Structure 1
Amino acid sequence: MTMQPARRKALLIAAAMGGGAALAVVGKPTRRLADERPPVKLEAVFPERFAGWQVAPTAGALVRPSDETGKIYGIYDQVLERVYVGPAGERVMLSVAYGTEQSVGLQVHRPEICYPGGGFKVSELTRLTLPIGGRELPVTRLFATQPGRAEPITYWTVLGDTVEGSSRSFRWRQILSGLRGQILDGMLVRVSTLDTQLDRAYAQQARFANDLVAAVDPAMRVRVIGKAAPV
């Protein structure tokens, strides 16, 4: 007898819920990676001056997208928001969010999710790798727009010591680490500019990101771009 589509869907949902409950019980984390290594202080990790860039003292309001709830970054222990001015007067916005507990129930808020919540339209979503910090780093690009604001964005997320290129791989690694009894910390690094010319904006962001990572203390660099994948 052929199963009806509605019944099949209900059984799949029930199975998924049961699997999630089992993981919650069997893999309840008991150990935090953040407690086993030096603490992260974002203001110290990311320098205010480097390679001709310096922080603009009165431009912080340019960084955060509109958000009436005020809860976009509520899950994080620390958030750093700055606007940097480059050698030619160009401006780049940096937003970094760090959490000591990136458990399955405490997900990183990716721009393609949080920007629409702030009234933006998101398009041109692309996954790629960029030469940052002496290696090819998985990043995501997208274009967020609303009346009066056009914001190309480049960002990446680090879970533990690994850069995760997609939300699926991020969540899967959270689950696997939970099964091992470990809670990984996580960081989201977002670089953006106000520009309607995407090629120009992304080239500027790539240059800024590479300069920024090169200026981070080597001892903390793994927290910002993870470890290089084994060859």
Structure 2
Amino acid sequence: MSANRTKAWILAACMVAVAGFSALGKPGTQAAMDTRARVPLEDIFPSQVGDWRLDPAAAVFVRPAVDQARRFQMYDQVLERTYINGQGQRLMLSVAYGRQQSVGLQMHRPEVCYQAGGFQVQDVRPETIQVLGQPFPVTRLQAHMDGRPEPITYWRLLGDGVVTDDSSFKLQQLSLGLRGRVLDGLLVRVSSIDRDTDGAHRRQARFADELARAMSPVQRQRAFGVAPAGSPRP
């Protein structure tokens, strides 16, 4: 067999393999995706989290998550809230849900979005916080613009698993797709306007723990995913 014919057969085999993987990698049934997508983010994230309650001054500007998502073409729901505690401290919660996280439609990382919005982004790093007494992986960063210092803590889910970097995100996309899983995604961001970055991050970590405690097991699995072993987080 000539070298050209050999190359042709290899190319054909690769094309067949790619087509096969594409078929296997399609999301689960439309019905399954519709079921998850129909659950409003408002029903997952409680309005009271420990001592934190919705800020009444900001609540009047909050729109339903489905309506809010119309501002963002890549999401199906976007929930934006401001919480205030008894000491008058405020935290901002932003949650974005996309029902199908394809290779070309990934949950945008805050370090990318903030920089695109004119912020200076610094100290992006993976961290582990305690949620219900268990280690939970998050990403922390600091954003600045015009005297507005904003420490940020966030985490991303693909399906039911937390992903901490883009490489893991893409690998899990492929793995879940090959198993016929629904490739939806959730990004949860907690931030505050605060010059004390370390103090703000500690407060955000406590808020995440209190958020998990305020949720039902079903809500908690949707917001925090499952542990690496495959069981729901406590």
CA distance change for structure 1 residues 150 and 37 in 2, over 3 Å: closer, same or farther?
Answer: closer
**Could you say which structure has the larger radius of gyration?**
2
Residue in structure 2 matched with residue 85 of structure 1 by the alignment: 84
Report the secondary structure of 1:191's partner residue.
Answer: strand
Question: 1:30 offset after TM fit, Å?
Answer: 4.5
Report the secondary structure of 1:105's partner residue.
Answer: coil
**1:22 maps to amino acid:** V
Q: 1 CA distance for matches of 2:103 and 2:227?
A: 24
In 2, are the aligned partners of 1:135 and 1:228 still within 8 Å (CA)?
no
CA displacement, residues 164-214 of structure 1 (integer Å, 9 cap, x when unaligned): 111110111112223334432111000001011111111111111111121
Residue in structure 1 matched with residue 209 of structure 2 by the alignment: 210
Report the secondary structure of 1:98's partner residue.
Answer: strand
In 2, are the aligned partners of 1:59 and 1:82 still within 8 Å (CA)?
yes
Residue ranges of structure 2 left out of the alignment (5+ in a row):
1-13, 63-68
Map 1:101-180 onto structure 2 (within 5 A).
101-180=100-179
The size of the alignment, in residue pairs, is 208
In 1, are the aligned partners of 2:100 and 2:185 still within 8 Å (CA)?
yes
Report the secondary structure of 1:183's partner residue.
Answer: coil
Residue in structure 2 matched with residue 198 of structure 1 by the alignment: 197
Task: Pick one of 7, 26, 47 that aligns with 1:29.
Answer: 26
In 1, are the aligned partners of 2:94 and 2:188 still within 8 Å (CA)?
yes
Report the secondary structure of 1:169's partner residue.
Answer: helix
CA distance change for structure 1 residues 148 and 184 in 2, over 3 Å: closer, same or farther?
Answer: same
Residue in structure 1 matched with residue 4 of structure 2 by the alignment: none
**1:81 maps to amino acid:** E
**1:205 maps to amino acid:** Q
Q: 2 CA distance for matches of 1:71 and 1:168?
A: 28
173-182 vs 76-85, greater mean Cα deviation: 173-182
Q: 2 CA distance for matches of 1:206 and 1:42?
A: 21
Q: 1 CA distance for matches of 2:88 and 2:127?
A: 28
In 2, are the aligned partners of 1:59 and 1:83 still within 8 Å (CA)?
yes
After TM superposition, the score normalised by the length of structure 2 is 0.79
Residue ranges of structure 1 left out of the alignment (5+ in a row):
1-17, 64-69
In 2, are the aligned partners of 1:195 and 1:201 still within 8 Å (CA)?
yes
Give the percent of matched residue pairs that are identical in Structure 1 and Structure 2: 46
Residue in structure 2 matched with residue 56 of structure 1 by the alignment: 55
Q: 1 CA distance for matches of 2:124 and 2:171?
A: 21
Q: 2 CA distance for matches of 1:38 and 1:106?
A: 16
Select the structure that is richer in helix: 2
Question: 1:50 offset after TM fit, Å?
Answer: 2.8
CA distance change for structure 1 residues 230 and 179 in 2, over 3 Å: closer, same or farther?
Answer: closer
CA displacement, residues 108-147 of structure 1 (integer Å, 9 cap, x when unaligned): 0010111111001110111011101342111000001111
In 1, are the aligned partners of 2:25 and 2:176 still within 8 Å (CA)?
no
